[in-house]
Amino acid sequence: MDQNVSTSNANGSSKYGSIIDILECSWINAVTGFWKKYPNQYSQHVLTEDILERKVFPDGKLYTRRLLSKTNPLPQWGVVVFKSHLKQVAHVIEESIVDPAKHVMTVYTWNTTYAHMMEVHERLTITPADITKTTQVFREGWVNSSLTGFRHVLRQFGLTRWKSNARKAFLGYQSVLVQPTTHIGQHTVLGEKALDSLHEVKDKAKKKAIDLAVRANSPSVQS
């Protein structure tokens, strides 16, 4: 559900936009569903998602770094102007931090493809909403370009594209969360599975960190 959309110029250069959405589920379900967003019918342009790094900090926060690959079609004018730089697949870096103590998930994304022409940075903040058993998704985007002669048009195009992609991203996110739940007394099976899933991810990350530390300190590695 789209609550609010706003746009402005940031620092007189970057184009800035923000969108507030509400998910009809608990925060733990929203966080667990985040890792299951793809594939979905609204984000068919997302081709692959690969985890580059995952670890648990001493304070219990879960850090994840992923590489996403997407198709990246340009409008006709872009094909004509940038035909020598066209790429069939675009890559995006995503870094996220889940704070289970404060119930906050923060996600940062930025493009590595076409970055010399246009940079798009996004911050997603997922927190419990004021309404019980709902979650707020606050999405912010910054679009900038330093390409001489095309700065204004690329910034405006980038912000328009960001809004469109943001809408698809939320609808896809929402779609994976819409699934039947089984109630047993006062408990929801889906909620319990979501919590177990998050704990499982953290346990696996801890195990991987321990394994790497053991290997690093073994005689065969040091010799």
189-217 and 27-34 helices, crossing angle to 10°: 50
**What pLDDT is stored for residue 73 in this prediction?**
76
**What pLDDT is stored for residue 79 in this prediction?**
72
pLDDT bin (cut points 50, 70, 90) of residue 148 is: confident
pLDDT bin (cut points 50, 70, 90) of residue 178 is: confident
Q: Which residues pair with 50 in a beta bridge?
A: 67
Q: Quote the CA–CA distance of 167 and 21 in Å, as a whole number.
A: 10
198 and 31 Cβ atoms separated by less than 8 Å: yes
% of the chain exceeding 70 in pLDDT: 72
- Whether the pLDDT of residue 209 is over 90: the answer is no
- Which of 37-41, 119-123, 159-163, 204-208 is predicted with the least confidence, judged by mean pLDDT? 204-208
Give the DSSP per-residue string, 2-52: EEEEEEEEETTTEEEEEEEEEESS-HHHHHHHHTT--S-TT-TTEEEEEEE
SS3 183: strand
56 and 83 Cβ atoms separated by less than 8 Å: no
- Whether the pLDDT of residue 1 is over 60: the answer is no
Q: Which of 49-63, 75-89, 209-223 has the highest mean predicted lDDT (pLDDT)? A: 49-63
Which residue segments constitute the domains of the chain, with CATH numbers given?
Answer: 2-222 (3.30.530.20)
**What pLDDT is stored for residue 75 in this prediction?**
72
Mean residue pLDDT of the chain comes to 82
Q: What does the pLDDT look like over 123-133, one tens digit per residue?
A: 999 999 988 89
The pTM score is 0.75
pLDDT bin (cut points 50, 70, 90) of residue 211 is: low
**What pLDDT is stored for residue 6 in this prediction?**
59
**What pLDDT is stored for residue 124 in this prediction?**
98
